[in-house]
Chains A and B, each alone.
Chain A
Amino acid sequence: MQLSSKKVAGLLSAATCSLLGVPAHAEDDWDVDTAVLYYAESDDRVQAFEPVISATRDLGDDESLSFKLVLDSLTGSSASGAVPSTQVQTFTSPSGRDAYTVAPNETPLDPSFKDTRVSFSMNWEKSVGRNDRRNLGFNISREYDFTSISANALWQHDTNQKNTTWSYGINIEADQIDPVGGAPEPLTDMDDQNKMSGTESRTIVDLLFGVTQVIDRSSLFQINLSLSEADGYMTDPYKILSVVDNTTGLPTDYLFESRPDSRSRQSLYGKYKKMLSNKDIFTASYRFMTDDWGIDSNTFDFSYRFALSRGYYIQPRLRLYQQSKADFYNYFLRTGESPEHASADYRLGEMEATTIGFKFGKDIDEQQAWSLRLELYEQSGDSSPSEAFGQLAQQDLYPTLEAAIVQFNYSFRF
Chain B
Amino acid sequence: MAKSLSLSRRGKLWVGQFRCMASPCEILLECKNRAQARELAELGQQEALRIEQKFSRYRNDNIVHQINSAGGRIEVDTETALLLDFANNCYDLSEGWFDITSGILRRAWKFVDGARIPEQQEIDRLLPHIGWHKVNWENPCLTVPQGMEIDFGGIGKEYAVDSTLRLLSQETRDSFIVNYGGDCHASCPLADGSPWMTGIENPHRPGDATAVIRLKSGALATSGDVFKFIQQDGKRYGHILNPDTGWPNTDSPLSVTVAAATCTEAGILSTLAMLQGKDAEIFLKRQAVKYWCYR
Partner of A4, one of B174, B244, B276: B276
A6 to B286, CA, bound (A): 7
Establish whether residues B95 and A20, one from each chain, have CB atoms under 8 Å apart when the complex forms: no
Chain B residues lying within 8 Å of A12, measured Cβ to Cβ, are 89-90, 93, 265, 268-269
Known: A20-B162, A20-B264, A22-B166. A4 touches B287 (CB 8 A): no
Docked CA distance A20–B79 (Å)? 10
In the complex formed, the residue of A with least CB distance to B82 is A19
Cβ contact within 8 Å between B268 and A6: no
Per the 8 Å Cβ criterion, residues 5-53 of A in contact with B are 5-9, 11-16, 18-22, 24-25
Partner of A19, one of B83, B93, B96, B193: B83
In the complex the two chains form, is A5's CB within 8 Å of B86's CB?
no
- Interface 0/1 of B273-291, CB less than 8 Å to A: 0011001101100111100
B283 touches A4 (CB 8 A): yes
In contact, B86 and A9 (Cβ under 8 angstroms): no
Contact of A11 among B93, B159, B189 (CB under 8 A): B93
In Å, the complex CA distance between A7 and B287 comes to 5
Interface flag for B171 (CB, 8 Å): yes
* Contacting pair A25 B269 (CB below 8 A): no
Interface residues of A in 140-173 (CB under 8 A from B): 161-162
| Residues A15 and B261 in contact, CB atoms below 8 Å apart | no
Chain B residues contacting A3 (CB-CB under 8 Å) are: 94-95, 97, 272, 275-276, 283
Within 8 A of A (CB), among B162-209: 162-163, 166, 171, 173-174, 188-189, 191, 193
Chain A interface size, as a band, is 20 to 34
Contact code string B103-136 (vs A, CB < 8 Å = 1, else 0): 0000000000000000000000000000000000
Whole-angstrom distance from the CB of A63 to the nearest CB of chain B? 14
Nearest CB in chain A to that of B281: its residue: A4
With A20-B166, A130-B191, A130-B193 known to touch, is A4 a contact of B279 (CB < 8 Å)?
yes
**Which residue of chain B lies nearest to A15 when distances are taken between CB atoms in the complex?**
B89
Q: Determine the distance from Cα of A11 to Cα of B268 in the docked complex, in whole angstroms.
A: 12
Report the separation of the CA atoms of residues A1 and B283 in the bound assembly, to the nearest whole angstrom. 13
- Using Cβ atoms and an 8 Å threshold, which residues of chain A touch B275? 3
Q: Is B32 in contact with chain A by the CB < 8 A criterion?
A: yes
Q: Does B31 contact A (CB under 8 A)?
A: yes
State how many angstroms separate the Cβ of B226 from the closest Cβ of chain A: 24
Q: Please report which residues of chain A, range 257-316, place their CB below 8 angstroms from some CB of chain B when the two chains form the complex.
A: none
Q: What is the interface of chain A, defined by CB distance below 8 A to chain B?
A: 1, 3-9, 11-16, 18-22, 24-25, 129-130, 161-162, 217
- A/B interface sample: 20 pairs, CB < 8 A: A3-B95, A3-B272, A3-B276, A3-B283, A4-B282, A7-B287, A9-B265, A9-B269, A12-B89, A12-B93, A13-B261, A14-B89, A19-B83, A19-B264, A22-B262, A24-B265, A161-B31, A161-B174, A162-B173, A217-B171
Instruction: Name B's A-contacting residues (CB within 8 A).
Output: 31-32, 82-83, 85-86, 89-90, 93-97, 159, 162-163, 166, 171, 173-174, 188-189, 191, 193, 244, 260-262, 264-265, 268-269, 272, 275-276, 279-280, 282-283, 286-289
